[in-house]
Amino acid sequence: MNYRPLGRSALKVSELCLGTMNFGPRTPEAESFQILNRALAAGINFVDTANQYGGDLGVGSTETILGKWLAQDLSRRDQIVLATKVHEPMSDAINDRGLSARHIQMACDASLRRLGVEHIDLYQMHHIDRAAPIEEIWQAMERLIAQGKITYVGSSNFPGWAIARANEKAIAQQRLGLIAEQSLYNLIERRVELEVLPAAREYGLGLIPWSPLAGGLLAGPATMSSSADGKSRRQSRDTLDAATAREGQLNAFHELCESLQETPSAIALSWLLHQRGVAATIIGPASVAQLESVLHVPDICLSQQTLARLDDIFPACGPAPEAYAW
């Protein structure tokens, strides 16, 4: 496994970040433990979750599963960089959501209880909250840092202007500010390159792409392993319609992958790791087999010719960050 600094911090994370959104609603607890064990053995030290994850099992269920795994061997906590998120509704209560100082404090305490840990390494704002003053947010985050409950702060799904605003406020207070941004980014969805990625680079945030396989579109023609109910995301009507609409692109992509003797999933993930500013890419395996199939990705080196061909197949939005400025 290869490791990179998380943004401008001195913290080193594995190039593959284990996303846990499937744990519970799609992957049973026992198999979730197997995935975690294999990931740890393979050198993956970066584990990402969120307080809302849990699907039909209820919010917080995924954090609870992760907490049970950590409790099986207390040494595991020191081996991983643990990341979770705050913002999404946790109940019907009007204040049990968003980025008010009150909710940030209460949500962090609740996550710590479910995870069974004393501190969270990377505490991420899951979405922007336009009603919350940035001063209020930093007040809450700095209090959590002072209490030893979190170490670093990150954002997720933030626009470029919000990253700039948050870090300018932090700089004015001589604080570290945000060190990571988790964004939707893959060969098909490249809008992050216009403003978010340049802002992250400028302010020293490590980008952590989520949905690197575009909901399965970039995973290849073979059907992914089914979930417990016998259906995979790639079998959904929306996904099938999107695959039909992009048939030409995807066929060209599959042909390129075949010529490289690699799976489409591996090439899609590797491409992200070749983009400047990316610290790690999230993988969300629903089974041990899916995890095993991409563990070699950090060792793939794509040539400039291959990168250029991928740009031909999946064009960028324009020259960033000034694609629309005139």
| Residues belonging to the active site | 53
Reduced 3-state DSSP string for 201-218: HHHCCEEEEECCCHHHCC
* Alpha carbon distance 174, 204 (integer Å): 15
Helix ranges restricted to H, 116-195: 134-146, 160-172
Residue of 281, 269, 155 lying closest to 220 (CA atoms)? 269
Which residue in this structure is represented by tokens 């809450």? Answer: 140
Instruction: State the Cα–Cα distance between residues 169 and 134, nearest whole angstrom.
Output: 8
CA dist 41 and 180 (Å) reads 25
Q: Which residues, 6+ apart, have CB-to-CB distance to 8 below 8 Å?
A: 179, 204, 205
DSSP class of residue 219? Answer: S
Residue 124 to residue 117: CA distance in whole angstroms: 17
- 41 burial class (0-12, 13-18, 19+ CB within 10 angstroms)? exposed
Phi (first) and psi of residue 277, to 5 degrees: 105, -15
Strand duo 12-14 + 150-156: pairing: unpaired
Residue 173: CB atoms within 10 A of its CB come to 12
- Give the residue from 156, 154, 160 showing the smallest Cα distance to 194: 160
Specify the DSSP class assigned to residue 192: G
- The helix (run of H) or strand (run of E) holding residue 237 is helix 237-245
d(CA 116, CA 70): 8
